Amino acid sequence: MIYIILSVFCSVTVAVLLKLAKRYQISIIQAVTVNYLTAILLCLIFFKPDIGPVTSTAPWPIYIGLAVLLPSIFLILAVSVKNLGIVKTDIAQRLSLFIPIIAAYFIFKENFNSYKLIGLGIGFLAIFFTFFKKSKEKSKSDNWIYPITVFIGFGVIDVLFKQIALFKTLPYTTSLFTVFCLSFLISLLIVIIMVLTKKTKLQLVNLACGLILGLFNFGNILFYLKAHQALAQNPSTVFAAMNLGVIVAGSLIGIIVFKEKLSKLNYAGIVFALVAIIFITLSQLHVVR
């Protein structure tokens, strides 16, 4: 369980760092770029990927899709945390698991049991209640679009990563390393363009923040994979503990530390999110049995 706790800690820490970015005037795109460079170096150290088999037969369309989506959604994640807080953003990210589940039904023709159907139904209620605002509380910028984009974006990313996992010719860690490299190149290109057009300036503080962000972002991935290895016979335990842990920890930090204000319906959304993930986990257990 120590790996799950460490993974949850790293995941929530990333959200906290993004929350603090505005306070210290951090350039998110610069931090994200260094984040991927850090991930590349850590991949080399911990996973030792063999890039020899990465040829023209590799799933390049998926690699490129992920390379574009990952930095893009990371930036939107930062905006969502800044505008709507850690609580709602974390819930949006965790509930994005429903998109690959729906894709499994329509694309991969997976059968659904009653637990999964109930979980999906409660999950959509959770989304509605979590992001619900009374009309007088609406902001001029319609900030709700950010967590919704996070929800859809991370869901699509999850589907693409599952597609990579099905590509047995290459080890998953090699594909992960390749995606990080491409994401870094795309992020770096954006930074170069912004510097040349004088829309941003390179600052040491952004590089330092990106390094820290990369350490915790990679730590989340590393400990999550190690948790699955340690509990290979109980993948649903890892799945449930990780998602429930992030929602609970993120909510507590957002409410207690950052004084994020939630309505009663928003609190109901948190409860529904927890219940939905429990039912999805039960559906996995039911399949295993």
Place of tokens 């016979």: 233
CA–CA separation, 68 and 4 (whole Å): 28
**pLDDT category of residue 104 using cuts at 50, 70 and 90:** confident
Q: Domain limits at 99?
A: 2-288
End-to-end alpha carbon distance in the chain: 23
**Which DSSP category does 141 fall into?**
T
Number of domains in the chain: 1
Residue 4: the pLDDT is 93
147-165: per-residue pLDDT in tens? Answer: 999 999 999 999 899 889 8
Instruction: Determine the length of the chain.
Output: 289
**Residues 24 and 146: beta-carbon distance below 8 Å:** no
CA–CA separation, 127 and 197 (whole Å): 39
CA–CA separation, 202 and 115 (whole Å): 51
Check residues 81 and 199 and name the one with the higher pLDDT: 81
210-263: per-residue pLDDT in tens? Answer: 999 999 999 999 999 999 888 887 777 888 889 999 999 999 999 999 999 899
**Residues 182 and 174: beta-carbon distance below 8 Å:** no
Flag whether pLDDT at 275 surpasses 50.
Answer: yes
**Residues 115 and 282: beta-carbon distance below 8 Å:** yes
